[in-house]
Amino acid sequence: MERTFLWFVEEIGELSEAIRKRDRESMEEEFADVLAWLASLANLLGVDLEEAAKKKYPGVCPYCGKKPCECEEKF
């Protein structure tokens, strides 16, 4: 698990660099890498990413809690 976490963090650093440089092709590659390592880490720790996301973001606006969003200011 520790090594997978380190790979995940390294990919986040590479994504940060791609974003800083505004390198679209590299950003796409690094987003994919970050997602893959995040999924791998969650799997190793027994976390169901889909269920975790649904629980935290149940299809409503995270600010006003409504669907569709009724926030006066759009974020």
Instruction: Give the other-Cβ count within 10 Å of 37's Cβ.
Output: 19
Query: CA-to-CA distance for 26 and 9, rounded, in angstroms?
Result: 16
23-29 LR contacts (CB < 8 Å, sep 24+): none
Q: What is the pLDDT of residue 32?
A: 98
Give CA 15 to chain center in angstroms.
12
CB neighbour list of residue 3: distance below 8 Å, 6 or more residues apart: none
Q: What is the pLDDT of residue 12?
A: 98
Q: Quote the percentage of the chain above a pLDDT of 70.
A: 97
Q: Which residue shows structure tokens 């090594």? A: 3
* DSSP conformational letter for 60: S
Ranges of the chain with pLDDT below 70: 74-75
Q: What is the pLDDT of residue 62?
A: 82
